[in-house]
Structure formats: structure tokens, C-alpha cells
Chains A and B, each alone.
Chain A
Amino acid sequence: MSDVVVRLTDVRKEYGDSIAVNGVSLEIRAGEAVAVMGPSGSGKSTLLNLIAGLDRPTAGSVVVHGDDLGRLNERGLALFRRRRIGMIFQFFNLIDDLPALDNVALAAQLTGTSAVHARRRALELLDELGIGARKNTYPAQLSGGERQRVAVARALMNRPALLLADEPTGALDSRAGEQVMDLLLDLNQIGQTLLLVTHDERLATRCASRLIEVVDGRVANERTLERTP
């Protein structure tokens, strides 16, 4: 539990005249589940993008699992995302042309894993997440909850050190949202490090062990949570 997976040091991100993240420093340790909350435009999604290597900081350093992201070029960042992190989005971002199984397998196939092996592991994950029976279904025919489970399976495909979730229940009805919360909690309980960005306090208090509140690009508050059942 003492290994630091994410270390942000005085990170600043500017878009023209606007400051999205202003001098944020934080650490996330292996096995932790951290929720980042804050009002719209507070900079929480930008923070997630910086940790995922989807964006670069204007100043400061972002180190994830020992990789200083500021030192990586575009290819290096792609390889970092491939090996170190898994991402879940509010709107799932599945490829509509591919069935569930191939959407999940894709993440491994990009690393050069053969189609047979990638599909085998993808099926295991879909089974574990309870949607193995829907493996040949296209995203358009899946419910919101099912789509998010497929997205979670895809994020876990390469056994990431860090799972990042950006409003993972934001586009789901309450029942599907509950299911996704349970899923994330289960993952964390088996040791998966988790960083959630959310507006949903229930999600934060249920899944996270620590809450970071961001206001105007700064960490306004940070506290440990007692998980609610």
C-alpha cells in the first residue's frame, strides 16, 4: 500500500488566458480508490487528462508508475497509456462497428497480442463482469450499463496499474449506475488502484477511500472517506 502510483508536483495547466489547473500536488498510492469532485469547470477532468497522458501540463511534473509523462513523446505517451492505465468514459466510447468482444480485445491487439489470445482474455473479462452472453452484441444493441461494463472490461484488458474513470455513471440510469459502482468497488477491493472524477457524491462515498475536492483548479479540500455500503 505504500507504493506511489501517481505523483503530481505543482502541476499547472493553462489554455490561453484560462488556468484550468493551478499548482496541484498530490499522490495516489497503489490500491487506493481516490475520487476527485468539484463543480463544472473546476479542472477535475483536466487533472484526469494530465494523469492519463492525454494532455501535457504547462508546468510541474506528472509521474505515473515511475514514468515522468513530461519526458515522453507522443509515441511514449501512447505506450504508457497502453501499458499503465485503463480509462472509462461517461459516454463509453466504444467502436460501433465492433461487437462487445472485439471492442474489449482491441486494447490487447494493439500491443501485438494475437487475435485468439486477445479474444480469450476478453471473453474471460466479459464473463467476470457478467456480460459474457452479450459478447457478440454490437454497442448499439447494449443497454447503458452493459456498454459501461464492456468499457470497463476494455480498460482492464492490459492489466493496468491505474484505472481512471471520468463520470462513469454520468450517462446511466440509477440501476445501471449502482451496478457500475459495485463493479468499481469490487475491482478496488481486489487491489486495483482507482481514480474517479465525478459529480456523484454517492459514487464517491461508495467507491473511494479518499476524496479530493477541486475548486478553480486548486485542491480545496482532501479527506479520507468511510465507504458507505
Chain B
Amino acid sequence: MSAVWRAARAAVRRRRLQTTVVGVVTGVCTTMIVVALGLLAASSAPFDQAYARQKGAHLVAVFDASAVTGAQLTDAARRPDVEAVAGPFELANINIAPDPQVPPLSLTVVGRGDPAGPVDRLNLWQGRWASAPGEIVLNQLPGGTSLVTGVGSQISLVNGPTLTVVGFAFSVSRSADAWVAPAGIGALHPTSLQMLYRFAGGTVSTAVLPPNGLEGSQSYLTLREVAAAEALGFVAFLVAFGILGLAVAVLIVANVVSGAVVAGFRHIGVLKALGFTPGQVMAVYLTMVSVPATLGCLLGVGLGNLLARPLLSDAFRNLGAGSVGVAPWVDVVTLVGLPLVVALSALVPALRAGRLPAAEAISAGSAQHAGRGLRVQRWLSGTRLPRPVSLGIGLPFARPGRSALTLAAVVLGVTSMTFAIGLANSLTSYQNAVERFGAVQVEVHGPNLSVDTVRALPGTQHVAASAQLEVRQIGTTDETQLILYQGDNLGYQMLIGHWPAAAGEAVVSKRFLLQRGLSVGDPITVELNARRIQLRIVGEVLQNSAYAIFTDSRTVPDFVPDTVEVQLAPGTSVASYLATAEAAGLQADPNTHVESFIVIVVATASLLTLMLGVVATLGVFNTAVLNTRERRRDLGMLKSIGMTPRQVTVMVVTSMALLGAAGGLLGIPIGILTHRVVVPAMARAAQVDFPSVILHVYSLPLLGLLVLAGIGIAALGAYFPARSAARTTIAEVLHNE
């Protein structure tokens, strides 16, 4: 065994570049695999995972404190199907007025001793838990919009005490809007008791609820439908990237490792000539590639975990689980699986080498000398192409297996790039359509707005006045906004039906329709200041909100606008218009809303594409290194008959650029197909609808650029080995037979 170890150690030392390439490629690919598997793992039922992680309540029930006692509630929960129970917690409804301009907000506050417990473990992501009267912790998503500026802010109750915000926590069960210490709830005049239940297998049973005193209950199934909608939007594209990443990584590792063994055929022959048995030869080669591969694998697992954490946290932030990590099984599978891929990739050529007679193995290792590759080379010799170019084009045909693996990696790299760019374009185009960037450039806000004043400002082309009112849709408990419009329809895209043209006509988003089980043509009733208003849905508008009803301003008498949207005349700059509006005493802002969902998707897709691009480039780099090493003698001869260093570089780069061009041509349609499948799937998951134009994002120049991207990946990967080949010392190569 010591002979095997010594030979392997010597081989590792002698082939520093190859050892480094195997280590780096394995490391980067492991990182990719951990991220890809991590994404796939997290993408499977993200809501359920977040719920399980936080021991979310399967049932949240609120009881009238005067009708039922805590003991009765606890006794009723003693059933075999109840896995865990928390409560009773005292509950109070309070009203706060954070802004004198807006009506008071109602908050449900619960008195809880700590954020932990058997049910509804809160993610206390900033500050600390409330420990004394006068302190409050707000339920808020990490990074979400806040009622207050931060920890230490004060919240004044309408006709009540002032509370100090000491922390922010998130409840995936949405069990309360805020929490105070049990000692502090009394001051808020609680009238109810809250119970939180977890059931075995997640099967909700209302039998645990005592019949008397129940004020309301909420099953986690309802939350699951709503809360997971956005996260599910991520799932489709994360799954696509996960699969692409996994495939690229395995392909490249197999290519690099098998290439390392094939490149060592001559060395294998020498070992056999020295008396190494086939088994020992295989052991030498397995050890030789396993040492850098194992090191790369270990580093890659660490790096993958580091990289996956922010990606996953961003993707699933709306489930409020805080920092989401890679599932432990992913690390285990990678640590076992990748060395297995490495071993198998090395084993196949090593077995072949083991069976070869020593003399044959010594003479092997150069390009194949028969078959289709020769015919291609011969045909290329007669073409009008510059000879270094035609020689380069012929090179991949000498090692068809290796070229195929490299091509596959480039194809997947270009597929990812095509998909990512298409995804970003579709999302941007969707964002532009939803936010109406082309139609509305400025919004003027404030009380006592005069539409005529805005219309009279120089640079105004069209205006639309609107007002947003908080209403309640009869038959639901969801918050709803009634948005009244007067004037031109500035850029709202109708997917079905028409824009409201008369009092009582309304349009809503796809999400609104789906979440409330409505269709275009259905009537709805909303309640505004105890007054019921009848509306009829006359269309589906391209919008995200599940809570907004757009209607004509004549639906509500005494319409007072709070916003005037402005479309500027051609040639008017936003900055100059804002200055003019300010000079006229108006509060005007540019229309620059960008949805964080889209920002995160585009950023994540860019990062994943970059990683895939790096891995594919490394794959090409490795192939170019192996090819130039194997062809050292040919390169030396070509230089001896007058091939310039530049011509050598051109030849080697061309050999890989051909694979890049082929990869581009094959990867683009696959990328477009992926885009065509994933984007509608994301839309369905996110409950949004969009016009088909949003899918048509691949222009001819863009497709041309994507082919160039494939060539770019290949050329970049080949450039450094090509430069190194160009510097080959001819005398050393040609006399070293």
C-alpha cells in the first residue's frame, strides 16, 4: 500500500496544475451542487417547512374570556390528536394612530411570556422580547414595511397608554399583530383568550374547541394558500436552476476526473512496467484524483452552505422563517455522492487502462487515429479557412467523448443564461406593465389636491386622479381597498373585459379573483363607513394586489382625490417637472416602485447564472488544458515549422469556441423552452396573469448575444491554456520523446 501511496503522492506533486484543476473544479461544482440541492430541498413545500420549523399553529382560536375559563380550554385540548397546545393567552384589540393623516389602525395584541413554546415559535429577528408593562413587540417580516422607525420607537394608543417597541418578531401562524408581556396586557383591557393548537399529522380538528365562547378560529390551511403564493413563485425558477446546476456540476466533475486519468495513460503504462498490478494502478489513480477532489468537496460544502443561506433566506423571507439554511441531508448526500461521482468517473478509464498491456498504455494518451475525426480534419485541410482556424475546428473531433461532455456543460451554461435573461426581461416587462412606467412618470400626493392645478403645470400631458379608501368586502374578513379613478386610464392593461366606465363598475386582479373565488361578471358588495356599495366586476386588470378594487370615481359621491398620476409631455424631464410641481406647492414623486420580489428573483437568477457560467468555463478550461497537454508534441512541431504564438492561441481558442458556438445554438432553444415553462408556472403559483407579450422577450440581437455568450464562455475557458500552449518551449517538447 505504501508503494501506491508514494506513487500517488508523487503523481499529485508532479501534476500540480491538473491537481489544482481537479480540486478547484470539484470545489466549485460541490458549491453548485449544495446550492442546487439546497434550493430543490427548500423548494419542496416551503410553507410546510417554514411552518414545521416554527412549530406553526394548525389552529388559532379566540374565545370570549367572560364565557370560558382557561382551565376549560386546557381540558378540552387533552385529546390524542392534539400534538401540542399553547395558551390560553390574554388577547386585546387596540387602536393606534401612527399618522394623523390616516385613520387609526386596529391591532390584535397578545400577552405572551416568551417567543418560544411548543406551538407558534416566533422568529424574534430584532431587539428583545417584552418583559415589562409598557413594552411591545411587533409582528413583522424581516425587511418588511414597518409601522415604526425601529426598536425604541413609541406607539400611542387611541385613548390609551404609549408603548415602547422593544423588538420585532414574526409569527408564521399570524397569531397576533403584536405581543406584550403577560404583566402588560392588563393595561390594554383584554377581553379574549387565545389558544394555539398543533395536531398530529397536521389534520385540523375543531373537536378541541369548547362549544361556548368561541369568537373565531383560523386554520393554517387558509394561511398556507395565501402565504405560500409568493414563495411558490420562487419555487419554479429555483427548481429550474437547481436541476441545471446539478447537471452541469456532475458533467464537469466527470469530465475533469476521467480526463485526468486518460491523460495519465502513459504514466499508467510506466507503473505497470515497474510491476504495479492493475489493482495497484487503479488505486494510485483513484488516490491521485481523490485527494484534491475530497479537499475540493469539503471546501465546496462549506462554501455552498454559506452561499445558499442568503439565497434561501431571500426566497422564503415572506414565510418569515428568518435565516433559512441548507437541509442537513443535502450536505450528507453531497459529501457521499460527489466523491462517488469522482470515483466512478476515475474508475471507468482506470479499469480500461488497467486492462491495457503496459506497452500499449505507454503509447496511448494521444488523440484517436481513426474514425470520423480524421475525415473531418481532412475535409478542413482543404477549406479556405486560415489553417490555425481549420486545425482548431478539427481538434474537438479527436476526442469526441471529452468534447461531448464539454459541449453539454456549455449547453447547460447557455441554457441557464438564456433562461435567466428571459426571466429578468419578463419580470421587468411585467413590472413595467404593472407599475405603468411608460404611462405614469410622476405622482402628485396630498390632501386638497386640485386636478386642474396639476393639469395646468407645464409638461403635463395626461392626468388621472385617484383616491384609496379602506372598505370591507361583505362576506370576507380580508382587508380591501377601493381605488376610485377619475380621468384617463393611464397604462392599466386589461386582460379580460374593460376599464370601469360608469358608477358601480369595477376591475380587479387575477389574485383577487382567485383568492375570493370570483369571476369577471360577478357582483360584489363592499361596506364603506357603514354604507353598502354594490359593484360589478367588469374586467381583470394586470395588477398584483389581492386587496384592491379599481372603480370609477362616480361610484362614491363626493370623490376627493389623494393622488394625481401624471403622464408627461414628450421631451419633459421628470426632474424638471418635479421642480415645477414643488414650486407650485405640490408634493410630487417620481413613479419608481420596484417590487422586492422581482429584485430578489433577478438578483438570485443573476448569481446562479454567474455560478453556472463559472463552472462551465472551468469545464472548458480543463478540456483545453488536457487537449493542449496531449498535443504538446504536435504544438511543438507546428511551432517548429513556423506557427506563431498568436496562431497557436487562435487554434486552441477556436477549438473550444466551436464547442461554444454549438453550445450556444443548442442551449438557446432549451433556455427559451425552460423560460416558456417556468415563467407561466411562476405566474400560476403567484396567482397572477399576464399578457403573452411578456413571454416574447427574446429579440434577434439578444439571441445573437447569447450565441456569443456561449462562444465567450468557451473562449474565456480556453484562453489561458492557449496562451500557455503558445509559450511551449519547442526544443524541450520535440526532443523529449
Query: A residues touching B (Cβ–Cβ < 8 Å)?
Result: 45-46, 49, 52, 54-55, 74-75, 78-79, 81-83, 86-87, 89-91, 93-99, 102, 105-107, 109-112, 114-116, 119, 138, 140, 154-155, 158, 166
Identify which of A75, A89, A112, A158 gathers the most chain B CB atoms within 10 Å of its CB.
A89
Q: A81 touching B729 by the CB < 8 A rule?
A: no
- Pairwise interchain contact A93-B734, C-beta atoms closer than 8 A: yes
Asked whether A138 lies within 8 Å of B731 as measured between CB atoms, the reply is no
B640–A140 touching, CB < 8 Å = no
A82 contact set on B, CB distance < 8 A: 641-642
What string of 1s and 0s marks CB contacts (under 8 Å) between B692-736 and chain A?
A: 000000000000000000000000000000000000011100110
Asked whether, in the complex, the Cβ of A93 is within 8 Å of the Cβ of B642, the reply is: no
Q: Cβ of B646 and Cβ of A75 under 8 Å apart? A: yes
Give the docked Cα–Cα distance between A114 and B639 (Å): 19
The reply to whether A96 and B367 contact each other, CB–CB distance below 8 Å, is yes
Question: Apart from A93-B734, A94-B637, A110-B643, what are 5 other A-B pairs with CB-CB below 8 Å?
Answer: A74-B645, A82-B642, A86-B641, A96-B369, A110-B388
Chain B contact residues: over half helix, strand or loop, or mixed?
Answer: helix
Chain B 391-402 against A: per-residue CB contact (8 Å), 1 yes, 0 no?
Answer: 000100010000
Residue B642 contacts which of A89, A110, A166 (CB distance < 8 angstroms)? A110
In the complex, chain B residues whose CB is within 8 Å of the CB of A119: 381-382
Q: Would you call A91 and B642 a contact (CB within 8 A)?
A: no
Contacts of A54 on B, CB cut-off 8 Å?
A: 640, 729-731, 734
> CB within 8 Å of A: which of B378-414?
378, 381-384, 386-388, 394, 398
Interchain CB contact (< 8 A) of A98 among B381, B383, B645? B381
Contacts of A93 in B (CB 8 A): 633-634, 636-637, 640, 734
In whole Å, how far is B372's beta carbon from the nearest beta carbon of chain A?
A: 11
Does B213 have its Cβ within 8 Å of any Cβ on chain A? no
- In contact, A90 and B737 (Cβ under 8 angstroms): yes
* Set of chain A residues within 8 Å of B377, measured between Cβ atoms: 97-98, 102
Top 6 A-B residue pairs of the complex, sorted by shortest distance between their CB atoms: A82-B642, A109-B387, A78-B644, A93-B637, A102-B381, A49-B731
Contacts of A166 on B, CB cut-off 8 Å? 735
> What residues of chain B lie closer than 8 Å to A86, measured between beta carbons?
641
Chain A residues closer than 8 Å to B378, beta-carbon distance: 98-99, 102
Q: Is the CB of A97 within 8 A of B374?
A: yes
Shortest Cβ distance from A90 into B: residue? B737
Task: Sample 15 A-B pairs with CB under 8 A, ordered by A number.
Answer: A45-B735, A52-B640, A54-B734, A74-B644, A74-B645, A75-B645, A75-B646, A78-B647, A96-B367, A96-B369, A97-B398, A102-B378, A110-B387, A111-B642, A114-B384
A98 contact set on B, CB distance < 8 A = 377-378, 381
**Assembled-state Cα–Cα distance A158/B642 (Å):** 10
B555 at the interface (CB under 8 A from A): no
**Contact residues in A for B645 (Cβ distance below 8 Å):** 74-75, 78
Q: How far is the CA of A46 from the CA of B217 in the complex (A)?
A: 93
Q: How far is the CB of B655 from chain A (nearest CB, A)?
A: 12
* CB pair A79 B730 closer than 8 Å: no
Separation of A102 and B731 alpha carbons in the complex (Å)? 23
- Closest chain A residue to B636 by CB distance? A93
Q: Return chain B residues, CB-CB under 8 Å to A99.
A: 378
Is A91's CB under 8 angstroms from B394's CB? no
By a beta-carbon cutoff of 8 Å, the part of chain B in contact with chain A is 366-367, 369, 373-374, 377-378, 381-384, 386-388, 394, 398, 633-634, 636-647, 729-731, 734-735, 737
CB pair B640–A87 under 8 Å, yes or no, is yes
> Residue among B636, B640, B642, B734 with the most chain A CB within 10 A?
B642
Give every chain B residue within 8 A of A109 (Cβ-Cβ). 381, 387
CA distance A74 to B646 in the complex (A): 10
Looking at the assembled complex, report how far the CB atom of A204 sits from the nearest CB atom of chain B, in whole angstroms. Answer: 20
Inter-subunit contact B369/A115 (CB<8 Å): no
B379 to chain A, nearest CB (A): 10
Inside 8 A of B640's CB, which chain A residues have their CB? Answer: 52, 54, 81, 87, 93
For residue A172, give the distance in angstroms from its CB to the closest CB of chain B.
14
Residues A97 and B384 in contact, CB atoms below 8 Å apart? no
Given A49-B731, A98-B381, A138-B369, A87 contacting B644 (CB threshold 8 A): no
Inside 8 A of A52's CB, which chain B residues have their CB?
640
Question: How far is A106 from B635 in the complex, measured between Cα atoms in Å?
Answer: 13
* Residues A95 and B634 in contact in the complex (CB < 8 Å), given A106-B641, A111-B642: yes
Q: Which of A54, A97, A115 has the most CB of B within 10 A?
A: A97
Evaluate contact between A140 and B369: CB separation under 8 angstroms: yes
A109 to B647, CA, bound (A): 12
Counting chain A CB atoms within 10 Å of each CB, the highest count among B394, B636, B638, B647 belongs to B638
| Assembly CA distance A94 to B634 (angstroms) | 7
Q: With a CB–CB cut-off of 8 A, which chain B residues contact A81?
A: 639-642
| In-complex Cβ contact of B644 among A45, A75, A154 (8 A) | A75
Contact between B639 and A78, CB atoms less than 8 A apart: yes
> Which residue of B369, B388, B637, B640 has the most chain A CB atoms within 10 A of its CB atom?
B640
The CA-CA distance from A3 to B387 in the complex, in Å, is 34
Interfacial chain B residues near A110, Cβ < 8 Å: 387-388, 638, 641-643, 647
> Which B residues are CB-close (under 8 A) to A140?
369
On chain A, the residues within 8 Å of B388 by CB distance are: 110
What CA separation (Å) do A110 and B640 show in the bound complex? 12
For A105, the chain B residues whose CB sits under 8 A away are 381
* Chain A proximity of B380: nearest CB distance (Å): 9
Q: Which chain A positions have C-beta within 8 A of B369?
A: 96-97, 138, 140
Given A91-B737, A138-B369, A112–B382 Cβ distance below 8 Å?
no
Q: What's the minimum C-beta distance from B395 to chain A, rounded to whole angstroms?
A: 9
Known: A75-B645, A96-B369, A97-B398. A115 touches B374 (CB 8 A): no
Chain B: minimal CB distance from A22 (Å): 18
A160: shortest Cβ distance to chain B, in Å? 10
A166 to B638, CA, bound (A): 16
Measured between beta carbons, the chain A residues less than 8 angstroms from B633 are 93
Nearest chain-B residue to A98 (Cβ)? B377
Question: Is the CB–CB distance between A87 and B641 below 8 Å?
Answer: yes
The answer for the CA separation of A74 and B735 in the assembled complex, in Å, is: 20
Bound complex: CA of A106 vs CA of B373, how far in Å?
Answer: 18
Taking each of B367, B634, B731, which has the highest tally of chain A beta carbons within 10 Å of its own beta carbon? B731
B642 and A115 contact, CB distance less than 8 A: no
Measured between alpha carbons, how far is A96 from B643 in the docked complex, in Å?
A: 18
**Measured between alpha carbons, how far is A115 from B387 in the docked complex, in Å?**
9
Q: In the complex, what residues of B have CB within 8 A of residue A87's CB?
A: 640-641
List chain B residues, Cβ under 8 A from A115.
381-384
What is the CB-to-nearest-CB distance from B56 to chain A, in angstroms, rounded to a whole number? 65
A97 touches B731 (CB 8 A): no
Cα–Cα distance between A99 and B380 once the two chains are bound (Å): 12
Q: What are the residues of chain B within 8 A of A74 when measuring CB–CB?
A: 644-645
